[in-house]
Amino acid sequence: MKLTQDQKNFVEDLLSRMTLEEKIGQMNQESPSIVGGFDVPFSELIEMLTDGRISQEEFGRIMANAKQDFHEDDIRAGRVGSQMVKDPRQNNALQKIAVEESRLGIPLIIGFDVIHGFRSVFPIAIGEACSFDDALFEETAHMAAAESRAHGINWNFAPMIDAARDSRWGRVSEGPGEDPLLGSRFARAKIRGLQNDQSSPLSYVAACTKHYVAYGACESGRDYNTTSMSVSNLYNVYLPAFRAAMNEGAATVMAAFNDLNGVPCTVNRWLLRDVLKKDFGLEGFVVSDANAIRECVIHGIAEDDRDAGVQAALAGMDMDMGTHIYKDHLAAEVEKGTVPMAVIDEAVRRILSVKVWLGLFENPYVPEALIEAYEKGLPEEHIALCRKAAEESMVLLKNEGGLLPLSRGQKISLVGKLADDANEVCGAWAMAWKPEDCVSIRMGLEAAGADVRYFPCGGPEGEIDFEEADRACREGDVIVAVVGETDAMSGEASSKAEISLPGGQRALLERLLASGKPVVTVLMNGRPLALGWEAEHLPAILEAWHLGIRMGDAVAAALLGDVNPSGKLSSSFPAVTGQCPVYYNHPSTGRPGSKSKFTSRYLDSPWDALYPFGHGLSYTGFAYDGLCVEETADALEICVKLKNTGDREGTEVAQLYLQDVAASLVRPVKELKNYSRVTLAAGEEREIRFTLPKQDMGFYDNEGQYRLEDGLFRIYVGGSSRDCLMKEVRIAF
């Protein structure tokens, strides 16, 4: 985000003409609130949704019919800087009030949770990250930006780039997984896709990277829980994606709910002012997460709302999401002198700068023709990109005896409630999809010409119909069982203490296996599951996540061999829940897990991942050979021969890892340093080259200082974090 001198002058001029109330208004974000007509308060309604007393659909219906207050009077009075609405005509109406009826005519910045697509829903981020395809990350973000803007949304609360290593946390679904390098490349590509195409006023939005920071490290994987860690761990694992996003020019940041080492991120001056704004150079603004300023009172870091507001403002929190604390308390605090006017001016300058950069003063509205165009349906190229993203995000975990792909001649018994529920394909944080765009796995198989019969039998919730399962076994040559989680089982406030297949699904799989028919398992889920039993007993497992609106087409294409799976895991899968957090790049211990007793292991389960980061099979095979490492003045040049050993074309993600063998702080057993997607024809061999700049071979210490330390390094290249060739090099920087 860069402003011209003229734009900067415009901001300063505007700022100089604003009253204190108008300035604080810019720091206030509203969302529509429900008025009247309810037998139960809104908070109770949310609880009813959460504990299952009403379904998502019922909730949606209630909300659609409820009368909502969009805070028009406050907008007119200059007391609102931002809104959260997805309807384009409503957004035009609100902008009209802001631009034409408020004293200074400052447009609203309109934010929304467009996390993995708007109406074109792409795979959930943990799935999309499995493509290891930076160009795809960028393309899907670019399309999400265009669709958002066509609906009056100019600020996307994305990308979510929390490194997450504990799959009990429901929000692992929203981010790119456990690795800081993959997370950083995902972050950069998303920022480019959302922000960089300024060819038209409606082709870009402001990104909001979140949740700053270490939210993914919440203790026990329980959402909103406390986090504590060393400075070195913070800098090496949790901050890199944010640093990368800032280097790419991300316009805004959302602070995380959690405390970090005792100070909630919302009021954490060191994190917001020193690290984010000063060191990383954020040019835009920071927004709190929903109600987070008020929650500082419950955290026990502030005595009351007023105190929380003062702490947040002083810490560098520029915008208040949803509490009205700034609106209600800041003016008095400025007058008393507790909050200097300079703090307010800095926040407002940042917010206005983003609005100016977005071109909102010139183009606040969505043209009616564009609204109507979207009402007619999704453009073909949007659907095609949804399908491509879904195809690249699947990971073939296991394929014993080449059971997959199936042939069109085989009679398929498709089992599992999830297999024919088009409402379940989008996953968590998808809020603008239309049922008519969604393709279930059953629909996909039928459209692809498979010989398929469907037997729901049951799913993640409720009873299993075992008789129906027996019928499915009798009537098919092969069973395709679709099992996993509903979309509500991951995402915010969806942590779980047990992450094996929920409900009676394992019993269903046992029953299917007992028939002796081959059972292919397709997983639909929002988090790595504990699959120890499944990996041992099932011959073929395709991880399909929640792949978005074209999920059914993509899964059908993979099952029938029209698409060769190429995804690699962005997060490690445990065998049992008790292994969480399990991740590949853990610090070396003095007693690495092994068969002998006094090592870092469990008595009752494996110590390492069942399916590690980077794992993923193909319908062809790949062999690595001839690893070479050459040192130049400022880099290592690494080459390896990669051969497609099978009889069909396939795409492999070649991965480069590094281990710093001895350093002044314990380093990870392996760290991803680069990757490359390579498509090879049957039998083709190609040399893959990676350049590893020496500058990238260091790490951050407990003062947050980057260190390059001479000594021995191991270079690994392979097709997963577990399966690599290795060479040692000694480096003096």
Q: Indicate the residue among 252 and 655 with the shorter CB distance to ligand NOJ.
A: 252
Q: Indicate the residue among 486 and 494 with the shorter CB distance to ligand NOJ.
A: 494
In whole angstroms, how close is the CB of 310 to ligand NOJ at the nearest point?
A: 23
Percent helix, strand and coil across the chain, each rounded to 5? 35, 20, 45
* Beta sheet of 28-29, edge-to-edge order: 285-287, 252-255, 206-212, 155-156, 109-112, 82-83, 28-29, 320-321
Q: Indicate the residue among 218 and 276 with the shorter CB distance to ligand NOJ.
A: 218
Q: How many CB atoms lie within 10 A of CB 728?
A: 11
Distance of CA 133 to the CA centre of its chain: 15
In whole angstroms, how close is the CB of 250 to ligand NOJ at the nearest point?
A: 15
Q: Indicate the residue among 160 and 663 with the shorter CB distance to ligand NOJ.
A: 160
Q: Indicate the residue among 288 and 564 with the shorter CB distance to ligand NOJ.
A: 288
In whole angstroms, how close is the CB of 23 to ligand NOJ at the nearest point?
A: 23
In whole angstroms, how close is the CB of 256 to ligand NOJ at the nearest point?
A: 8
Pairing of strands 671-680, 724-731: unpaired
Q: Indicate the residue among 86 and 192 with the shorter CB distance to ligand NOJ.
A: 86
CA distance linking residue 581 with residue 164, whole number of Å: 9
* CB-based closest residue to ligand NOJ: 157
Identify how many contiguous H helices and E strands the chain contains and give both numbers. 23, 27
Residues that bind ligand NOJ (CB under 6 A): 113, 157, 210, 289-290, 492
Q: Residue 626 in 3-state DSSP? A: strand
Pick from 242, 137, 238, 243: which is nearest to 196 by CA?
A: 137
Q: Indicate the residue among 162 and 307 with the shorter CB distance to ligand NOJ.
A: 162
Q: Which residues form the catalytic set?
A: 289
In whole angstroms, how close is the CB of 208 to ligand NOJ at the nearest point?
A: 7
Pick from 209, 218, 194: which is nearest to 239 by CA?
A: 209
Distance of CA 321 to the CA centre of its chain: 21
Ramachandran quadrant class, 121 (left: phi over 0; alpha: psi -120 to 50; beta: rest): beta
In whole angstroms, how close is the CB of 413 to ligand NOJ at the nearest point?
A: 40
Q: Which two structure tokens, joined as six digits, stand for 318?
A: 């520029």
CA distance linking residue 25 with residue 3, whole number of Å: 23
**Residue 30 contacts residue 83 (beta carbons within 8 Å):** yes
Q: How many CB atoms lie within 10 A of CB 334?
A: 18
Provide the strand spans (E) within 493-604: 519-524, 540-543
In whole angstroms, how close is the CB of 241 to ligand NOJ at the nearest point?
A: 15
Pick from 686, 584, 666, 674: which is nearest to 635 by CA?
A: 674
CA distance linking residue 480 with residue 78, whole number of Å: 58
**Residue 461 contacts residue 503 (beta carbons within 8 Å):** yes
Q: Indicate the residue among 116 and 210 with the shorter CB distance to ligand NOJ.
A: 210
CA distance linking residue 117 with residue 588, whole number of Å: 38
